[in-house]
Amino acid sequence: MKIEDAMVLAAGLGTRLRPITDTMPKPLVPIAGKAMIDYGLDALAEAGVKRAVVNIHHFADQMKAHLSHRIAPEILLSDETDRLMNSGGGLARGLKLLGRGPVLVMNADLFWIGEKPGERTNLQRLAKAFDPARMDMLMLCVKLEDTTGHNGKKDFSLGEDGRLTRYAEGLGTPVVYAGALALMPSLLDDAPDDAFNLNLYFDRAIAAGRLSGLMLEGHWITVGTPEAIGAAEAVIGAFREAAA
């Protein structure tokens, strides 16, 4: 499936990254010389996304200034400076700025490296595999051993049929949600107007047997604390040396 619209969830306060986030928004924290959000936006552009909504709240002016320099994808801002809407409320509000076609959704504080040159990227694979006739959402997932900066928690169990359920010992393949998914905007047409967590829709999809997973290729990185920056940059450096 061709997906040209996206939303990047970027409005969080980044409290665990203090004191760094006392002066800048978390998505702009540089990792190996590049703002975290730009790893995701570059991946979306490479996957063929033309328009991306980014929600903003913390140091919104810095976010606006940074994003104004981007050419691809085209950036649309969903302003949450009045109040934070949490992951679900932020997504529901942001989707109203886009059309009714399929959408890729990403978190701004994570990315991956190590995709194989010449092959489909993870987001291209996600878009191609998304089938709204069978799925409410298709999640990009990763094995715990292929992560850096994660807290060690396993989120879901991936069955042989590609369906996801909440993690349970001995059930399917344990995976971590890699913070990227595909969905149809109509899924959130009944969303409440107030702030809510997107986990509400994850659990609904699981109950209906319509939450599916796709395994990430490469290595996944998230940066939640100041200490995690060094670990992330070390992994990036090692991958760059290996590819040289």
Global pTM value: 0.93
**What confidence score (pLDDT) does residue 1 get?**
83
Q: What domains appear along the chain, each with residue ranges and CATH number? A: 5-243 (3.90.550.10)
Confidence grade of residue 89 (pLDDT, cut at 50, 70, 90): confident
Alpha helices in 130-198 (DSSP H): none
Contacts of 118 (CB under 8 A, 6+ apart): none
Mean pLDDT value of segment 21-34: 93
**What confidence score (pLDDT) does residue 150 get?**
85
Q: What is the CA radius of gyration of the chain?
A: 17
113, 32 in Cβ contact below 8 A? no
Confidence grade of residue 5 (pLDDT, cut at 50, 70, 90): very high
Q: Does 165 have pLDDT greater than 80?
A: yes
Q: How far apart are CA 1 and CA 42, in angstroms?
A: 20
CA distances from residue 193 to 53, 89, 115 in whole angstroms, order as listed: 18, 7, 38
Nearest CA-CA partner of 180 in 118, 119, 91, 114: 91
Q: Average model confidence (pLDDT) for the chain?
A: 93
Confidence grade of residue 215 (pLDDT, cut at 50, 70, 90): very high
**What confidence score (pLDDT) does residue 164 get?**
97
